[in-house]
Amino acid sequence: MLTTPDPFPYPIFSSQSKIANVCTSVLDALYKKTLHHEPGTRVGEDIEELHDMRVSVRRQRVAVRVFKGFFLDESIQKIQDINDELRNLGRALGRGRDLDILIDKFNLHLFELPADQADDLYGLIAIWKYYRVKAQTEIIDFLDSYSYQNLLQSYSVFLKEPQDTRPEKIETELPAIIEKRLYSVFKHEDAVNSNNVHQLHRLRIAFKRLRYVIEFFESVLGKEYDNLILQLKEIQDHLGDLNDAAFATRYISALLADWNSVSSTIPDVEQEYKAQLKIYLDVRTQEQELLLDTFPERWTAFLDSDFAIKLKAAAAQ
């Protein structure tokens, strides 16, 4: 399958590149990507625009988390202030993205149902649409806010001005950086058999951060890179589907618990929609339970792949 080249790729580094330069170069590429997807996010017609903008924000926050210690003096505070504002931006984009996923999976579920059963659930679209429009208004309000405009200005200045940094290079620091991210994953190993979506969510976040760091260093990890990303993707997809199902069950349960307010607030919502919500809640609950039950097998396959050994070897070469 042909893929569209990334218009803002990470630069190519060598083992002699300074770690702090890796950070500023990665942040520069991701900052440009954020700006690139802002117009489409504002329009709200293509859900991938919001998705790509949100992911670029998350990657920037991971970059700051990993590399902040390689900056000195005032530069540390500058990058931390930027990270605080990126957190606010990520939160502002989050609800809209969560609803995009819920709606997308709901539409897929309708497509897979017989026509008569799909018709029985079709009315729920009015509920999803109402809350998605509301989330879009909140996104635009934030993007129009002083807080966001101040972030863009301070961020642009930070990327253009020389910063005080430490001299360490990739060849000496990458193994320790990778080791720390692996530790952040494996310290959540107790979650594997816990059947607890909250603990598994923390494991999912740790996997995301590990993947982002690996992507930052693609140019120095050698031929093993593609295989490492593929192995991560398999377990991330499982945890991602679980997170989506868990959000859907929480969200729909909250709507049902507050049904009187929902039915009186949203235009054209009929009482029969409550029963439809319960039907779809059962669907997503069963999906969540299946993903919980099958995750230990996925984890075992991940361990059997010797992922950690291969990643450490690639980082040390």
Packing angle between helix 146-160 and helix 19-43, nearest 10 degrees? Answer: 150
pLDDT at 271: 81
Which CATH code, of 2.30.30.30, 3.40.920.10, 1.10.520.10, 1.40.20.10, is assigned to 18-165?
1.40.20.10
CA distances from 245 to 93, 170, 183 (A): 19, 39, 27
Same-fold call for 18-165 versus 169-317: yes
Helix (H, G, I), strand (E, B) or coil at 72: coil
Distance CA 208, CA 62 (A): 9
pTM over 0.85: yes
Which CATH code, of 2.60.40.10, 1.40.20.10, 1.20.140.10, 1.10.10.10, is assigned to 169-317?
1.40.20.10
174: buried, middle or exposed (CB in 10 Å: 19+, 13-18, 0-12)? Answer: buried
Exposure letters 101-131 (e unless 16+ CB within 10 A, then b): bbbebbeebbeeeeeeeeebbeebeebbebb
Of 86, 68, 77, residue with least CA distance to 151 = 86
Q: Per residue of the chain (317 residues), what is the pLDDT tens digit? A: 445 678 889 999 999 999 999 999 999 999 999 999 999 999 999 999 999 999 999 999 999 999 999 999 999 999 999 999 999 999 999 999 999 999 999 999 999 999 888 888 888 998 999 999 999 999 999 999 999 999 999 999 999 999 999 999 999 999 999 999 999 999 999 999 999 999 999 999 999 999 999 999 999 999 999 999 999 999 999 999 999 999 999 999 999 999 999 888 888 788 889 999 999 999 999 999 999 999 999 999 999 999 999 999 999 98
Annotated domain spans of the chain: 18-165, 169-317
Cα angle 70, 76, 77; round to 5: 170
Cα angle 272, 275, 276; round to 5: 90
pLDDT at 1: 43
